[in-house]
Amino acid sequence: MEPRNSIIMEISMEDTFLKDLGKSIKNLRRQNGMTQEMLGEMANICPKHLGEIERGDSNPSVTVICKIANALNSDPSDIMNINSNTLSEKEYYLKKICALLRDKDVITICNVFQAMELLMEERGKKGGERVLIQKSLPVVITKLNRRK
């Protein structure tokens, strides 16, 4: 028979895990600009159940976690990575770029990549990272039009 303290510790760890999991889902949902109702509809789960999950009051199945991740354009591992509840700004924008391009055809992705390359090249000529995109964009558009 297990000592009583061991059982209490397991319950406490599970409770902490569920709270952290809920925070992770909530943070990703908010980063995607979604309400619980919007995410619930996209993931085909009841918004009330989603609220329970986000508060750590419900233990979601792996299937539910996968549905939520899919609706958030994320991997289940992103949701389960509760040690870093918030993404760095760089990670956040990289994920947003990937989500925007996920369903696009290869030609569109290639065009976006070329535009990004030219934009970064132009920004480098004008003094680096802090140059506003508005100053570089007209040059990039001109170069892209010449390539067609």
Whether residue 71 contacts residue 43, with contact meaning beta carbons closer than 8 Å, is answered with: yes
- Burial label for 139, CB within 10 Å (0-12, 13-18, 19+), is middle
Instruction: Give 9's pLDDT tier (boundaries 50, 70, 90).
Output: very low
Q: Count how many Cα atoms sit within 13 Å of the Cα of residue 50 in the half-sphere of its side chain.
A: 24
Mean pLDDT, rounded, for 42-59: 95
Domains identified in the chain and CATH numbers? 4-80 (1.10.260.40), 104-147 (no CATH)
Residue 125 pLDDT > 70 = no
CA distance 12 to 87: 26
Q: Higher-confidence residue: 138 or 133?
A: 138
pLDDT value, residue 11: 52
Q: Higher-confidence residue: 70 or 145?
A: 70
